[in-house]
Amino acid sequence: MLNTARPTHGFDAANPRRRERALEDLAGGLARWRLAWALARSDITHRYRGSILGPMWLTLSTAVMLGALGFLYAKLFRIDMTDYLPWLTVSLIVWNVLNQVVSDASGSLTGAEGVIRQMPLPYSVHAMRVVMRNALIAAHNLPLIAVVFMIFGVAPSWYALLAIPGFLLMAVAGFAAALFLGMACARFRDIPPIIGSVMQVAFFVSAVIWKPEMVGHWQPYLPINPVFALMEAVRAPLMGSPGGITVWLAAIFWTGVMVVIAWAFFVRFRGRIAFWV
Amino acid sequence: MATIEAAGLAIEFPLYHHNARSLKQRILASSGLRLKQDADNRVVVAALRDLSFSIGKGERVALVGPNGAGKTTLLRTIAGVYEPVAGMLRVEGEIGSLIDPAAGMDSLLTGRENVVLRALFRGMTEAEGRALADEVAGFAGLGDFLDVPTRGYSAGMNVRLAFAMATAMSPNILLMDEWFLAGDADFMKRAEERLAQLVTGADILMIATHDMTVVRKWCTRAIRLEGGRIVADGPVEDVIEADRA
C-alpha cells in the first residue's frame, strides 16, 4: 500500500486553527524535501535545455563579469589588482547568491500558480525550492573562488569553515523571505519592481564593490544594513578572517527578524494564498 | 472509511488586480446576484454559497449544472486547494484528483519521469515512484510513448496518463472533472472497469459533468448546482427528471 499524502483534512471557518495548520504546512513541506529538490534541479536543467555548456553558463557569465569589473575597479579605486580581485570575486559571488535569492523569493508563489490552484501542497515546498535552486546555482559559482585564489596565490585559511554557518543563516533568511515576499508579491503586484530597485541601491551601499574599510569611521555602522550583515558573515570567513562579533550578531538578528515576520504573515494569511496567485 | 461532509460551506473569490473602483460601479449596479462586496469593501464572486451535504462510502456522485455553477470550484475545495470563508468541511480518505490533467506535470519530462514527479508530490520516495511508474505503464497503454517527453503527447494520451496515475494510487475519494472523456472507446471501457473496481467498498467518486449518459451509467446520486447553490440533491433519475420537467 502506498503511503497516504493527507488521508483526512478538514476546515471549519469558525475555528480555523491557523497556527496548527501553518505548522503542519512546514512539517509537510520538510517531509517533501525530495520534491523541492527535484523541482529545483529541473528549474536549472530546463533553463539551459539544449545549450551545449548547460549550467556551466552560470559559472562562465560570472567569470566574465569578474574579469571586466576587476580590471576596471582596481584602476578606478587605484588598488593593487592582486589585492582587489580575489576580494571582488568572493564579494560578487556572495552578492549574486543573495540578490538572486531575494528576486526568486518574490516569485516563489506566483511562479507556482499552476500547482497551487490545482492541488493541495504545503506552501513551504515552494519556498524550499527557491532556497535549493539557489544553493545549486551557488555550487556552480563557488569553484571560481578557488580558481581565482590559486591564480593570485591566496592561501585559504581554516576560518573559511565559518562560511558554512554563514551560508546556513543565509538559507534560513532566504526561506523566510521566500514565504514572506512570496505572499506579499502575490497579493500586491507592485512589490516585485520595488524590491528590484531596493536591491539595486543595496548593491551600491552594501560594500559589494568597495571594501568596508574605505568608509572610514562609518565602518562599525555597516551591519545595520541586513544585506551587508548577511553577506559579511559569508565573505569574511572566505577571505580568511573570522568576521567581527557585531557582524555575526547582526546577521543572526536580521535572520531572526525575517523569520518572525514571515511566520506571523504565514500563520495569518496562509489560507488566502490560493486566492492571491 | 471515506466520507465528505460539508455544512454551510462558502467560497468567495476576491477580484484583485483590477481597477476596483470602476469595476465595482459597473458590476454591482447591474447584477448584484453573485458579485457582492465583502466586509472589507472588496468585490468578490460568491462561487459557492451555503452548501450542506454529506457523502458516505460507496456513493458515486454527479455534479451537474450550467457553466459557472461552481462544480470545479467545489471539486477543488474538497481536494483542499481553497479554504472556505465560511462553514465547515470535513474529508476523510485519501484523495485522487483528476481535475486538471496537466496539474503538476512537466511537459519536458517523459511520461515515466512525470509519474515519479507526481509520486514526489504525494510525499513518496523516488523508488516508490518508479514502482508506481511500472504499474501506470500497464494501465495507461502508452507503449513506447511512456519514455517520450509529454509535450509530444496528444490530448488523449495526456488523459490516459493522468487517469492511470490518479487511480494507481488507489485513492478512497476520486474527484473528476469531465475532461477525461477525451479517451478513445477502448480506453473508456477500461476506465469504466477500473472505476467500478475502485468504487466498490468504502470509496467515493465525485464527477462534474454535462453528459447525462455518464451520469446515468456511473452515478448513484446527483447534485445540481446553480449560481453556487445546491438546487437539487438526490437519486440520479429524480434530479435529472426534475430538470426536464
Q: For residue B103, give the nearest of A8, A28, A115 by CB distance.
A: A115
Mutate to test the interface with B, among A17, A35, A51 (most CBs of B within 10 A): A35
- Residue B92 has its nearest CB partner, among A2, A8, A32, at A8
Residues of A with CB below 8 A from B95's CB? 5-6
| B chain contacts of residue A114, beta-carbon cutoff 8 Å | 102-103
State residue B225 phi and psi, 5-degree precision.
-105, 140
Please judge whether B93 and A32 are an interchain contact, meaning their C-beta atoms are less than 8 angstroms apart: no
Query: Using one digit for the tens of pLDDT, what is the confidence trace for B73-122?
Result: 999 999 999 999 899 999 998 888 888 877 778 888 899 999 999 889 88
3-state secondary structure chain A: CCCCCCCEEEEECCCCCHHHHHHHHHHHHHHCHHHHHHHHHHHHHHHCCCCCCCCHHHHHHHHHHHHHHHHHHHHHCCCCHHHHHHHHHHHHHHHHHHHHHHHHHHCCCHHHHHHHCCCCCCCHHHHHHHHHHHHHHHHHHHHHHHHHHHHHCCCCCHHHHHHHHHHHHHHHHHHHHHHHHHHHHHHCCCHHHHHHHHHHHHHHHCCCCCCHHHHHHHHHHHHHCHHHHHHHHHHHHHCCCCCCHHHHHHHHHHHHHHHHHHHHHHHHHHHHHHHHC
Say yes or no to pLDDT of B32 above 50: no
Q: Does position A26 have pLDDT exceeding 60, yes or no?
A: yes
Identify all chain A residues contacting B113, using CB atoms and an 8 Å cutoff.
none
Q: Which of A220, A228, A219, A218 is nearest to A254 (CA)?
A: A228
For residue A1, the model assigns a pLDDT of 32
Closest CA relative to residue B199, chosen from B93, B60, B54, B55: B60
Nearest to B104 among A1, A2, A115 (CB): A115
* A21 pLDDT above the threshold of 60: yes
For residue range B150-166, what is the model confidence (pLDDT) as tens digits? 888 888 888 888 888 88
Whether A119 sits inside 8 A of B121 (CB atoms) is: yes
Domain boundaries, chain A: 18-276
Per-residue pLDDT tens for A64-111?
988 888 888 888 888 888 888 899 999 999 999 999 999 999 999 999
**Which residues in chain B touch residue A275, judged by CB atoms under 8 angstroms apart?**
13-14, 16, 82
Mean pLDDT value across residues A129-155: 92
Q: Chain B closest CA to A26's CA: distance in Å? A: 13
Contact B88 A8 (CB under 8 A): no
Strands B60-64 and B221-226: parallel
- Cell (9 digits) for B97: 484528483
Q: Which residue of A has its CA nearest to B175?
A: A119
At residue B49, does pLDDT exceed 70?
yes
The mean pLDDT of chain B is 83
A6: chain B residues, CB-CB within 8 Å: 80, 94-95
Tracing cell 564579494 back to the chain, one arrives at A91
CB-CB: which of B89, B117, B172 is closest to A38?
Answer: B117
Distance from C-alpha of B157 to C-alpha of A25, rounded to nearest angstrom: 34
User: Which residue would you say has higher pLDDT here, A25 or A12?
Assistant: A25
- Closest CA in chain B for residue A4: B94
* Whole-complex ipTM: 0.83
B31 or B136: which leads in pLDDT: B136
> How many CB atoms neighbour CB A33 within 10 A?
14
Contacts of A9 in chain B (CB under 8 A): 80, 91
Angle at A117 between CA B155 and CA A30, to 5 degrees: 110
What is the torsional sign of CA B130, B131, B136, B141?
A: positive
Run of H or E including B77:
helix B71-79
